[in-house]
Homo-oligomer: A and B are copies of this chain.
């Protein structure tokens, strides 16, 4: 279950993909503890670089990510986690995916509608 955490100061990027639609929902970072928690609990757990602590996705919103499959790349310095997303959206801004801005003619354009009201879920607070 070894991963190479040396390239990013103890972290690996974790790509979160919907296991049915294939949509990429978000990218977070995991340290070894977060990765092990993810495997052991079956819920995606990250290391928050801004808060410097483990972060169980959905701990405040309830929008947890249920792990379906985990793979790693050739260099074993990145993980891909296929999940079932509980709740309408993964993004704390109210969208299904964090990747809701598409590049068109050199500008980032919001390409879809919110699926929930983040103020109701987060109360204006953190992720």
Contacts and interface: CB of A to CB of B under 8 A. Distances in A.
Q: How big is the A interface, by class?
A: 35 or more
A27 B103 CA distance: 19
A1 to B, nearest CB: 5
Nearest to A91: B74
B1 A106 contact: yes
A7 interface: yes
A123 B74 CA distance: 18
B99 A72 contact: yes
Given A23-B22, A80-B99, A71 B111 contact: yes
B100 A74 contact: yes
Interface string A80-94: 100000000001110
A91 B78 CA distance: 14
A96 B72 CA distance: 14
A102 B39 CA distance: 12
Given A71-B111, A74-B100, A13 B1 contact: no
